């Protein structure tokens, strides 16, 4: 028998199968999906590969497979092949997403192993040991004390024996040496939920709207059929309660559930809701803030069928779940469901494919759906629309006001807080209520400039301004991580007139301390959540210790439920409007609506103040009315006129190289090849000339791009894959090419 094997390498020219003989002794164990070790080329060291096909014979002279290591399923291999074609990457890149965390490295010594401890058991029978005690063969009182303890507590550790018997380790070792006790290795789970002690809750009575939504999705669960639903509900409308009851129904059918959440910061709160309803034994958690050991054990818990509910970020969609019954994607509009790294997959695409194959419902939930999702839902294009128009606990949506910052400046107010926001914070502090202040920029100042000559401090590796971080007194690049000391003298003209421009969360925190010195504050941004569990600690501290003001970036925007938050202040609503992206208005509306939804979620009235230099912008105006439909009606017309998604796909072909002259030449050649291969489709495609990317240098690599506007058809996908294959066969070493369909950002 012959195995078709994909080598686990990133080189594009190795993205094909190689034939290997399956030795007779391995034939019963090798299946499609097996991870194997093979001799490759002239190397002495064995290479890792994956079996993607098995056939009777080959025309080539082949080597033997050396060893089998692990297995994936046929379905996982087929999914990896589908992804590689769809996302223009190597099959091995996709397979890695489906392997057990901690086993993906080729270096065996670095792989995560099961965590084990030594436990103590009786080696002889109780009757034999009792006889030897009676005969006086075992005389020591301490030895007898230990033996009697282990009779009742087999499987304890030596430290536990020492504590409960008040005897030394040496006595235990003597009993082991004399053959009365034995050491047995026992596997223990690294459980990220071990310290969670949460009170059990019962299911709530559903509102009429929730019942209608629940019943529609329940039918798909009952009938075991694929259907995609958009659960579109205002903030606080009880989408999570619908999820919980749908999962309860799924578990009754002896099936399992995957729940995706966009942000790590959302995961703790979602997990707590699920533990309170189902207990932690039923739940596995997958996200990047877990240790690699915890992810390894959670993955195995899923693989062995012990977990019935899997909660996590986008990578959890690849969890090895058997008998899957439902997939739920919360905050489906969120950009984090799209991977920025290779493979550049969209988790919603993967979820749709899995749901179709398993014949199960897929539920997409959001208060501000992605434009394409909503367009498909209202046009009956493969998605069923379900609406929740009222808050579940009968609380009112918050009142939203807009402050024109141009007018504030005209009135002489140069601070970060408008008069109204300042007064509202003051009033909230008096009433002992909580406030959230949202500013989607971290750091202290977003750029530093010389007022004398106009010199701007930029990263030496990237063509981007450095951000000042006051707490470390450093300049940092948010793209490559480069740091340097604060510049106090202009390197161009020698002037000392260095000024800080723009504002970040650190500067806002400093101003709040100055204006409200008695208020307790806590900040949540990328700089404050670097440690494990720091997301959860900050959110719990804010909730449980009655911190007055939470300052944060978009981490504080979505999904959180804080009953005492009655005021939300948006410091600079324009920051997301001024990005070079066709989705700037959509993202602004989503962020403003989501952050507004944090206010007044219980019986207390909520108030939101949005500060902006563009108060007349329709995304800000419709966010004030909290009307997604109004925003959608305006935005969809603009998209139609300009031919943007959902009316076409945006395909960005990105090039990067360490040499500027090389990248110009390579992009020009690729462009000619692209025109030649798509000449029959040019009426349906708009292909831009090669040009530098908006940020034309990152990590000392120059960046250019070609943009295609058109529909990503099967034919166009094949053309692009064929051009890429030819391109990499040329063995051009330094220039890297990526193809990204509908990327998260256009920079």
Got the DSSP string for 586-611?
HHHHHHHHHHHTTSS-SSS--EEEEE
What DSSP assignment string belongs to 368-383? Answer: S--HHHHHHHHTTSS-
The CA-based dihedral angle spanning residues 589, 590, 596, 602, taken in that order and rounded to the nearest 10 degrees: 140
Within a domain: 297: yes
> Quick check: 325 pLDDT over 90?
yes
What's the alpha-carbon Rg for the chain, to the nearest Å?
A: 30
266: confidence class by pLDDT, cuts 50, 70, 90: low
Instruction: Please give the average per-residue pLDDT across 355-383, as a whole number.
Output: 96
Within a domain: 245: yes
**pLDDT value of position 558:** 65
From residue 712, give the alpha-carbon distance in Å to each of 646, 647, 648, 720, 740. Answer: 12, 11, 8, 10, 11
Tell me the percentage of the chain whose pLDDT exceeds 70: 95
Q: Domain of 15? A: 2-99
> Quick check: 559 pLDDT over 90?
no
**pLDDT value of position 695:** 87
**pLDDT value of position 108:** 57
Quick one: 338 and 381 in the same domain?
A: yes
From residue 125, give the alpha-carbon distance in Å to each of 142, 182, 470, 487, 647. Answer: 19, 12, 68, 76, 76
**pLDDT value of position 44:** 82
CA proximity to 665, closest of 704, 717, 638: 704
Quick one: 588 and 627 in the same domain?
A: yes
CA proximity to 307, closest of 278, 285, 284: 284
How far apart CA 552 and CA 549 sit, in angstroms, is 10
**pLDDT value of position 105:** 61
> Quick check: 284 pLDDT over 60?
yes
**pLDDT value of position 687:** 94
> Alpha helices of 318-384 — where are they, by DSSP H?
347-358, 371-378
Quick one: 304 and 433 in the same domain?
A: no
CB contact at 8 A, 421 and 611: yes
The 10s digit of each residue's pLDDT in 631-651 is: 999 999 999 999 999 999 999
532: confidence class by pLDDT, cuts 50, 70, 90: low
Tokens of 259: 């729940």
The least confident of 275-284, 356-365, 390-399, 425-434 is: 390-399
CA proximity to 559, closest of 354, 218, 273, 251: 273
**pLDDT value of position 714:** 94
Quick one: 77 and 177 in the same domain?
A: no
The 10s digit of each residue's pLDDT in 411-465 is: 999 899 999 999 999 999 999 999 999 998 877 777 788 888 888 888 889 888 8
Could you tell me which residues come within 8 angstroms of residue 32 by beta carbon, excluding any fewer than 6 positions away?
51, 52, 53, 54, 74, 77
Q: 656 in helix, strand or coil?
A: strand
Domain end among 367, 388, 409: 388
Residue 614: CB atoms within 10 A of its CB come to 18
How far apart CA 374 and CA 377 sit, in angstroms, is 5
**pLDDT value of position 88:** 95
How far apart CA 495 and CA 488 sit, in angstroms, is 9
656: confidence class by pLDDT, cuts 50, 70, 90: very high
**pLDDT value of position 525:** 82
Look up the CATH number of the domain holding residue 709.
3.30.70.600
> Quick check: 341 pLDDT over 80?
yes
Could you tell me which residues come within 8 angstroms of residue 42 by beta carbon, excluding any fewer than 6 positions away?
none
Quick one: 127 and 276 in the same domain?
A: no
Helix axes 628-642 and 371-378, enclosed angle (nearest 10): 100
Quick one: 224 and 330 in the same domain?
A: yes
Within a domain: 311: yes
Between CA 210 and CA 213, with CA 211 as vertex, the angle to 5 degrees is 65
How far apart CA 634 and CA 639 sit, in angstroms, is 9
Within a domain: 120: yes
**pLDDT value of position 176:** 92
CB contact at 8 A, 301 and 245: no
Quick one: 379 and 403 in the same domain?
A: no
**pLDDT value of position 526:** 77
The 10s digit of each residue's pLDDT in 129-178 is: 888 888 888 889 999 999 999 988 888 889 889 988 999 999 999 999 99
> Quick check: 107 pLDDT over 60?
no
Tokens of 722: 């064929």
Instruction: Using the CB atoms, write b or e for 477-487: b if 16+ within 10 Å.
Output: bbbbeeeeebe
Look up the CATH number of the domain holding residue 383.
3.40.50.300
Quick one: 363 and 228 in the same domain?
A: yes
Tell me the three-class secondary structure of 685-710, residue by residue.
CEECCCEEEEEEEECCEEEEEEEEEE
Within a domain: 382: yes
Quick one: 631 and 673 in the same domain?
A: no
Tokens of 196: 């969670």
How far apart CA 468 and CA 448 sit, in angstroms, is 8
How far apart CA 265 and CA 580 sit, in angstroms, is 27
> Quick check: 502 pLDDT over 90?
no
The 10s digit of each residue's pLDDT in 679-738 is: 888 788 999 999 999 889 999 999 999 999 999 999 999 999 999 988 888 877 788 999
Could you tell me which residues come within 8 angstroms of residue 212 by beta carbon, excluding any fewer than 6 positions away?
386
Quick one: 283 and 413 in the same domain?
A: no
196: confidence class by pLDDT, cuts 50, 70, 90: low
Higher pLDDT, 272 or 621: 621
Residue 631: CB atoms within 10 A of its CB come to 26
Tell me the three-class secondary structure of 614-639, residue by residue.
CCCCHHHHHHHHCCHHHHHHHHHHHH
Quick one: 172 and 214 in the same domain?
A: no
> Quick check: 541 pLDDT over 70?
yes
Within a domain: 640: no
Within a domain: 292: yes
Residue 581: CB atoms within 10 A of its CB come to 15
Average pLDDT, the chain: 89
Quick one: 529 and 669 in the same domain?
A: no
Q: Is the dihedral of CA 87, 90, 95, 101 positive or negative?
A: negative
The 10s digit of each residue's pLDDT in 58-82 is: 999 999 999 888 788 889 999 999 9
Tokens of 444: 């202290």
Q: Backbone phi, then psi, for 479, in 5-degree steps?
A: -105, -40
Q: How many separate domains does the chain show?
A: 5
pLDDT winner (highest mean) among 274-278, 296-300, 543-547, 651-655: 651-655
Within a domain: 197: no
The 10s digit of each residue's pLDDT in 391-421 is: 877 777 889 999 999 999 999 998 999 999 9
**pLDDT value of position 411:** 93
Residue 249 CB burial class (10 angstroms; 0-12, 13-18, ≥19): middle
- Strand duo 256-260 + 324-329: pairing: parallel
Could you tell me which residues come within 8 angstroms of residue 64 by beta carbon, excluding any fewer than 6 positions away?
20, 21, 22, 23, 39
């Amino acid at each position: 028998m012959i195995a078709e094997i994909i080598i686990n390498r990133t080189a594009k020219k190795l993205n094909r199968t190689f034939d290997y003989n399956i030795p007779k002794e391995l034939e019963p164990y090798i299946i499609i999906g097996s991870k194997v070790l093979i001799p490759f080329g002239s190397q002495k060291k064995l290479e890792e590969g994956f079996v993607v096909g098995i056939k009777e014979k080959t025309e080539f002279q082949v080597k033997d497979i050396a060893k089998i290591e692990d297995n994936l399923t046929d379905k996982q291999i087929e999914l990896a092949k589908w992804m590689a074609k769809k996302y223009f990457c190597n099959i091995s890149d996709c397979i890695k997403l489906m392997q057990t965390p901690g086993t993906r490295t080729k270096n065996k010594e670095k792989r995560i192993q099961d965590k084990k401890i030594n436990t103590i058991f009786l080696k002889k029978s109780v009757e034999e040991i009792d006889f030897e005690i009676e005969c006086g063969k075992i005389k020591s009182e301490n030895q007898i004390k230990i033996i009697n303890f282990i009779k009742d507590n087999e499987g304890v550790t030596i430290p536990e024996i020492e504590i409960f018997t008040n005897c030394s380790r040496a006595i235990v070792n003597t009993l082991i040496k004399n053959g009365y006790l034995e050491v047995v290795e026992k596997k223990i789970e690294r459980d990220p939920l071990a310290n969670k002690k949460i009170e059990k809750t019962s299911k709530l009575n559903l509102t009429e709207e929730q019942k209608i939504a629940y019943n529609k999705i329940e039918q798909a669960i009952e009938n075991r059929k694929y259907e995609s639903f958009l659960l579109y509900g205002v903030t606080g409308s009880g989408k999570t309660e619908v999820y919980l009851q749908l999962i309860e129904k799924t578990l009754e059918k002896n099936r399992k559930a995957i729940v995706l959440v966009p942000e790590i910061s959302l995961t703790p709160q979602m997990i707590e809701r699920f533990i309170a309803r189902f207990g932690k034994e039923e739940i596995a958690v997958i996200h990047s803030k877990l240790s690699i050991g915890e992810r390894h054990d959670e993955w195995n818990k899923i693989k062995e069928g012990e977990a019935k509910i899997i909660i996590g970020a986008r990578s959890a969609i690849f969890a090895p779940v058997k008998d899957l019954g439902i997939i739920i994607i919360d905050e489906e509009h969120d950009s984090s469901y799209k991977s920025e790294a290779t493979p550049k997959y969209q988790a919603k695409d993967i979820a749709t494919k899995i749901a179709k194959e398993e014949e199960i419902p897929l539920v997409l939930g959001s208060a501000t759906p992605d434009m394409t999702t909503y367009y498909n839902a209202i046009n009956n294009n493969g998605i069923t629309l379900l609406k929740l128009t009222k808050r579940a606990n009968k609380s009112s949506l918050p009142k939203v006001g807009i402050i024109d910052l141009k007018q504030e400046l005209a009135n002489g107010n140069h601070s970060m807080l408008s008069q109204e926001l300042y007064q509202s914070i003051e009033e909230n502090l008096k009433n002992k209520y909580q406030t959230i202040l949202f500013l989607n920029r971290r750091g202290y100042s977003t750029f530093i400039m010389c007022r004398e000559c106009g010199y701007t401090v930029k990263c030496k590796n990237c063509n981007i301004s450095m951000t000042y971080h006051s707490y470390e007194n450093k300049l940092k690049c948010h793209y490559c991580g480069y740091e340097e000391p604060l510049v106090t003298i202009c390197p161009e003209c020698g002037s000392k007139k260095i000024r800080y421009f723009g504002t970040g969360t650190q500067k806002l925190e400093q101003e709040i301390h100055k204006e409200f010195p008695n208020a307790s504050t806590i900040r949540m941004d990328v700089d404050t959540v670097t440690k494990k569990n720091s997301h959860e600690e900050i959110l719990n501290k804010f909730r449980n210790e009655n911190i007055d003001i939470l300052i944060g970036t978009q981490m504080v925007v979505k999904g959180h439920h804080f009953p005492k938050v009655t005021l939300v202040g948006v410091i600079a609503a324009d920051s997301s409007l001024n990005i070079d992206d066709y989705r700037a208005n959509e993202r602004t509306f989503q962020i403003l609506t989501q952050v507004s939804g944090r206010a007044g979620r219980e019986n207390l009235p909520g108030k939101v103040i949005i500060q902006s230099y563009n108060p007349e912008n329709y995304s800000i105006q419709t966010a004030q009315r909290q009307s997604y439909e109004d925003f959608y009606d305006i935005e969809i017309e603009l998209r139609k006129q300009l031919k943007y998604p959902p009316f076409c796909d945006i395909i960005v072909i990105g090039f990067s190289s360490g040499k500027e002259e090389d990248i110009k030449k390579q992009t020009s050649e690729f462009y000619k090849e692209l025109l030649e291969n798509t000449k029959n489709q040019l009426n349906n495609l708009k292909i831009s000339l090669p040009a530098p990317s908006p940020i034309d240098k990152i990590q000392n690599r120059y960046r250019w791009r070609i943009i295609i506007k058109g529909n990503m058809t099967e034919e166009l996908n094949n053309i692009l894959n064929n051009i890429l294959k030819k391109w990499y066969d040329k063995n051009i070493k330094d220039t890297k090419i990526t193809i990204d369909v509908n990327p998260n950002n256009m920079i």
